[in-house]
Amino acid sequence: MATFFGEVVAAPSRAGVDDEDEEEAAGQALEETPEDREIQAAPGAAAEPLRCSRFVVAVGHNAAAFLSSFILDSVCWEVVGAVKLWNEWCRTSNTTNVLPTDSFCLFYRLISDPTVLLCQCSCYVAEDQQFQWLEKVFGHIQKEGLQVTILSTCPVADYKTQESTLTLPSPFLKALKTKEFKEQVCCPLLEQPNIVRDLPAAVLSYCQVWQIPAVLYQCYTDVIKLDTVTIEAFKPLLSSETLKNLVKDVSESTKSLKKLLTTNETHNNIYI
């Protein structure tokens, strides 16, 4: 297991943002208070922590879209909670009826087995909000018998290798796990000196500290927007112990993916 996960790295640069956006962001920053950055709500408002056997966390638009396309549906799953946050990069949506491009963090429970939880987190969780997110989310989940799977994406340019990244068959998956995770992983392990960052690193580090079996699957891609090839790069995970009995019918998955991308394209065209 690489020892570099959870390493603090620089926040994303705002280089290239329009002057107008800069002024607007500056204005918001002046009005912002510590209370504004406080994360609100969490999965399940029950007084007692939820019993959970499997918890799948998809971070980013493509990872969230993978769950929407191949796992989630309105018949077998129900929304049980949401995390709301606001920072200099995003404000989460106030509805559960979200578009693929929206910023949101929703939690779902499998109706036939309430111990299975999914999280779609397409919003950016700032460095100073990550601890809050972990405390509020995992504070509502029993840690005994819990296993966590994290999905995320990362620019292929961030992948450190002696080869040229131009020759790499992008997108590709790499895995990083805690020492308690004993199942076979679905792709090669991430090599040193590569690191993971942001919320995926925070979740994996939290699981390491609390001795929770956890694995992170990171997809390295050269496409930053919602993309079919990047979404389908996660498909090897459908044969994993965690996901194999949660997979939708193949024809339904294809329809869901096509509908998702069509909705995204239509939404983007509004602004052209």
Q: By the 8 A CB rule, do 115 and 53 touch?
A: yes
Angstrom distance (rounded) from CA 216 to CA 187: 11
More confident call, 70 vs 3: 70
Mean pLDDT confidence for 80-90:
84
Determine the Cα–Cα distance for residues 270 and 272; give it in Å rounded to an integer.
6
What is the mean predicted confidence (pLDDT) over 205-214? 97
Provide DSSP, 134-187.
HHHHHTTB--TT-EEEEEEEEEGGG---SS-GGGS-SSEEEEEE-TT--SPPSS
pLDDT at 267 over 60: no
Question: Which residue has 């640069």 as its token pair?
Answer: 13
In the chain, where are the structural domains located?
54-265
Q: Residue 145: left if φ>0, alpha if ψ -120 to 50, beta else—which one?
A: left
Q: Is 269 helix (H, G, I), strand (E, B) or coil?
A: helix
User: Averaged over 143-147, what is the pLDDT?
Assistant: 95
pLDDT score for 57: 97
Q: What pLDDT was estimated at residue 249?
A: 78
Q: Is the pLDDT of residue 223 over 70?
A: yes
Q: Distance (Å, rounded) from C-alpha 112 to C-alpha 41?
A: 24
Q: Quick one: average pLDDT of 164-191?
A: 91
Instruction: Provide the total of helices (H) and of strands (E) in the chain, helices listed first.
Output: 6, 7
Helix (H/G/I), strand (E/B), else coil: 252: helix
6: left (phi over 0), alpha (psi -120 to 50) or beta: left
Please provide the average confidence, as pLDDT, over all residues in the chain. 82
Range with the lowest mean pLDDT among 40-54, 108-122, 237-251?
40-54
* pLDDT on residue 8: 41
Name the band, by pLDDT with cuts 50, 70 and 90, for residue 116. Answer: very high
The CATH code of the domain at 54-265 is: 3.40.50.10900
Helices (H), the chain: 19-31, 61-70, 130-138, 198-209, 228-232, 250-269
| C-alpha torsion sign, points 83, 86, 88, 93 | positive
Average pLDDT rounded to a whole number, residues 218-242: 92
Least confident window among 8-12, 213-217, 236-240: 8-12
Stronger pLDDT, 267 or 167, i.e. the higher one: 167
Structure confidence at residue 163 (pLDDT): 79
DSSP H or E stretch at residue 122: none
pTM of this prediction? 0.81
With cut-offs at 50, 70 and 90, classify the pLDDT of residue 144: very high
pLDDT at residue 233, rounded to an integer: 94
What digits encode the pLDDT tens for the residues 39-50? 776 565 556 788
- Is residue 75 pLDDT above 70, yes or no? yes
Give the pLDDT band (50/70/90) at residue 19: low
